[in-house]
Each structure stands twice: as structure tokens, then as C-alpha cells.
Amino acid sequence: MATPFAGKRALVTGAGKGIGRATVKALVECGAEVIALSRTEADLHSLKQEVPSVKTECVDVSDLPAVEAVVKGAGPIHLLVNNAGVTQLLSVLDTTPDAYDRIMSVNLKAPVFLSQYVARGMVERGDGGAIVNVSSVASSVALTDHLAYCTSKAGMDMATKVMALELGPHKIRVNAVNPTVVMTDMGKMAWSDPVKSSNAMTQIPLGRFAGIYTDPTLSVHLAFGRRLPGKEALVTALCVGRLC
């Protein structure tokens, strides 16, 4: 097995379940030392049992002082995956200020400041690095009952562009990946209704939602925005979704 990330330390948020958990495993298989951050201790415990080399941090990403403390205590971080995300299905008329703030805080504010904490270290060391923001097709496609979620992901795409612009000269690559529906817990919560899901699938050329792709090399290459021969178009389409 090739280990393209040997000697690299990666921090992955939302690592307890779904896309984040799969990304952690893929990074470990590709040689990275991984810090898995999530907010449910039981998920981190089971991840540690599955992948003993992983270092776990039980932190809510919206608790910025706690997140900053994790970064300060971690040693050099070369790769950051801002994956933690939440949604709540609420119409425009029903969205509450609290729900809006919670979604924006986890999906947008936390990745922005976590990137800042990590990038400061990368700039200081001068050896560059990579930041991947797990955005969504919802950043550019309006979805019913996803007002705050779509807004947060649109903001994440623009934050990614500004970060790429400012941090590129410091050899830091910043990319967003924008998956369509992936059948994780979040995907099931939002897309299990067959009427809703069959409508959405008509917009997907393959006619089905993504699963978690298990080829670690491919998923990590996608997660870090590297080019794969013949697969470039997929880089922004899917992070660790099934590819074929």
C-alpha cells in the first residue's frame, strides 16, 4: 500500500460518523498520523478501537477556544479536513434564529476559524499544507427546507476561495469538495422519503446517491484535491462518495 501521507499529521473534524470517519480511515491507511475530532465520545471510542493509531479529541467545533487549544496542543498540522456539519429541515417560514445560528456556527464559522488557527502554524513553519472544506452541492442548488444549510455551504465555498487566494502564496492549498447526497446518517435524515429522493436522483447522471467509497487511496486523493488521471471532473463532485 502506498503511503503518500507518511510523516504528515492530519486533523479531521466530524470524525465520529459518515464521511469524516471514512476520511480518517483512508488517511491512516495512506500513512498520515490522524487527529479525529468529534463531539460524541462513544463514536470516538469505537473509532479508536477500529483504528488504534488515531488520536481522538472530543470537542464541539463551535467551541472555538476548545478547538484552538486542540490545535495548539497537536504539534504541526499539515492537513486539515473541515468536515463537521449539521442540518435541520426547516422551511423559510419556520426557521428560527437559534437553528440558523447553530447551523451557521458549526458549518461556516467553525471551519473558518479552525482554518485560521491551523494556517497560522503552516505560515509560521513555511512548509505549506492543505485544507479541505467539505461543502455540498447545496452551496449552489436551492433545496426546500435547507435555508440555513444552503446558506452556510454557499458561505463555505466563498470562504474557501478567499482562503485559497490569501494562503496560496504560503504553499497552502485550500479546496472545497461538494458532494451530492451521501447516505450517511445526515443523508438518510434528509433524503429517505422516496418521493423526495426520486426527484433528486433525476438530477444525478448515475441515477443514485453516493455511498462511502472504501478505496483509501482514491478517497484521500479526492479529499485532498489532487488530480487523478481521467478523474479530474470528479474532484469537486465527490469527496469520498462511490465513484463507479
Rounded Cα gap, residues 211 and 181, in angstroms: 9
Closest CB to ligand NDP among residues 123, 154: 154
Give the SS3 label for residue 138: helix
In DSSP terms, 111 is beta-bridged to none
Nearest to 81 by CA among 31, 33, 150, 130: 130
Give the SS3 label for residue 242: coil
Q: Which residue is catalytic, options 8, 117, 153, 213?
A: 153
CB atoms within 10 A of CB 124: 10
* 117 is known as an active-site residue: no
In this structure, what are the phi and psi dihedrals at residue 177, rounded to the nearest 5 degrees? Answer: -115, 140
Least distance in angstroms from the C-beta of 194 to ligand NDP: 16
* 153 is known as an active-site residue: yes
Least distance in angstroms from the C-beta of 75 to ligand NDP: 21
Least distance in angstroms from the C-beta of 67 to ligand NDP: 9
Torsion of Cα atoms, 36 then 39 then 40 then 45, to 10°: 20
Q: Which residue is catalytic, options 48, 149, 196, 213?
A: 149
Closest CB to ligand NDP among residues 170, 188: 188
Q: Exposed e or buried b for every residue in 220-240, given b needs 16+ CB within 10 A?
A: bbbbbbeeeeebeebbbbbbb
Set of cell numbers at residue 82: 473541515
Least distance in angstroms from the C-beta of 14 to ligand NDP: 3
Rounded Cα gap, residues 80 and 90, in angstroms: 30
Closest CB to ligand NDP among residues 59, 164: 59
Give yes or no for a contact between 45 and 71, defined as CB atoms under 8 angstroms apart: no
CB atoms within 10 A of CB 163: 22
Looking at this protein, which amino acid is placed at residue 137?
Answer: V
Closest CB to ligand NDP among residues 1, 195: 195
Q: Which residues are near ligand NDP by CB under 6 A?
A: 13-14, 16-20, 38-40, 43, 60-62, 83-86, 106, 134, 136, 179, 181-182, 184-187
Closest CB to ligand NDP among residues 137, 167: 137
Least distance in angstroms from the C-beta of 73 to ligand NDP: 17
Catalytic site residues? 149, 153
